Amino acid sequence: MAKTLADSIRWSTYKLAAGATTGETNFSIGTIGSGKPAGLIVAGLHGDEGPWGARAIRKFLDKVSTDDLHGTLRIIPVSNPTGFEAGKRNSPLDIVSFDLNRVFPGDPEGLHTERVAALISKYGVEDADVVIDVHGGGNWCVNSFVAQFPGSEELATVIGAPFITPRQPIPNTLTGYASSKGSKIVLIEMGGMGSVEEKWADRVADGIERALNHAGVIKTSNVHPDNASRIMGPSKVIRPSKGGVYLPELRETDVGRMVEQGTVIGRLLDPVTGSVVETYTAPFKETGLLLLRPTMIQVEGGTFLGMVAEPKI
């Protein structure tokens, strides 16, 4: 029986040299195969997105045979290990808070997060023909879309997300840097904590397989998604004007659906009286639910409660 990709990973461990405010930490990158084309899959740039992307990567690796690999595959399931350990978006080891996904290509002599970005750039992005950046809602929301970039449109299409949001590459992000180096890029924003975590992980794993098929890194029969994605226009973020208790009307199983204009998404309650302070409704004739906070939670004014968009097509 042929080995799976998961059986064939060669792990390389890199030492993040101690800086003025940090101790020495380890950073791991897995490699499978050799030669071209080369693909890179990254998850967990934000530590609070934790194991969800890594779970999807593992599911992909478990179901694809090494016989189907036609090049090199690099994987970084936990790309922000100290943020992951702390359950925080950013690493707690920097003297100023750095978003890892805003400091590429990094600095090997810089602060901790800059050094992490430098390792990913040197040992992951270098010579990669395709870069798949896996994000998700993590422990506070559930997401259901993929970002589509110029020159890499078909990668986003084959992922099979409920929604596609066209974007331009952002400088100093992983995808922006990889694009500047000539890589095809796609950013996945699917899944998050909840009772349907495994279904989202399966969906992301299938999307990764199709994207790598499209790039020629693997050759399997999983080429076309079962359902076409809806291409969305500019997104609208839902935020409360003040603090209180957010009570969602739409929950995690609603993420990825289209709803009619006026559908109640959630309400802000006064924490003392329990009275409704604000009500948030779907703003468009057809409103796509790209991202939602699916559980009751105390919030501050301006907190990210959800993201919606109107379809282009």
So what's the pLDDT on residue 95?
Answer: 86
Residue 18: pLDDT over 60: no
- Rounded Cα–Cα distance for residues 37 and 224 (Å): 20
Mean pLDDT of the chain: 95
Q: Please, are residues 66 and 3 in contact by the beta-carbon 8 Å criterion?
A: yes
188-205 tens-digit pLDDT: 999 999 999 999 999 999
Tally Cβ neighbours within 10 Å of residue 262: 11
Q: What percent of the chain has pLDDT over 90?
A: 91
Residue 17: pLDDT over 80: no
- pTM higher than 0.75 for the full model? yes
* pLDDT grade for 25, boundaries at 50, 70 and 90: confident
So what's the pLDDT on residue 15?
Answer: 86
84-142 tens-digit pLDDT: 999 999 999 888 889 999 999 999 999 999 999 999 999 999 999 999 999 999 989 99
Q: Please, are residues 46 and 143 in contact by the beta-carbon 8 Å criterion?
A: no
- Please state the rounded mean pLDDT for residues 47-54: 94
Question: What is the CA 147 to chain-centroid distance, rounded?
Answer: 10
* pLDDT grade for 34, boundaries at 50, 70 and 90: very high
* pLDDT grade for 26, boundaries at 50, 70 and 90: confident
Domains annotated on the chain, with CATH: 6-215 (3.40.630.10), 230-311 (2.40.50.100)
Token output for 309: 């968009």
- Please state the rounded mean pLDDT for residues 294-302: 97
Residue 21: pLDDT over 60: no
Regarding predicted confidence, which is higher, 175 or 140? 175
User: Which of 301, 245, 291, 239 lies closest to 268, judged by CA?
Assistant: 245
User: Which of 292, 293, 290, 265 lies closest to 279, judged by CA?
Assistant: 265
- Rounded Cα–Cα distance for residues 187 and 43 (Å): 10
Residue 313: pLDDT over 80: no
Residue 23: pLDDT over 80: no
- Please state the rounded mean pLDDT for residues 211-238: 96
* pLDDT grade for 307, boundaries at 50, 70 and 90: very high
* pLDDT grade for 50, boundaries at 50, 70 and 90: confident
**Backbone angles phi and psi of 30, in degrees to 5:** -100, 145
* pLDDT grade for 2, boundaries at 50, 70 and 90: confident
- Rounded Cα–Cα distance for residues 74 and 52 (Å): 18
Point out the least confidently predicted range of 14-18, 36-40, 81-85.
14-18
Residue 22: pLDDT over 70: no
Give the residues across from 10 on adjacent strands: 31
Residue 166: pLDDT over 60: yes
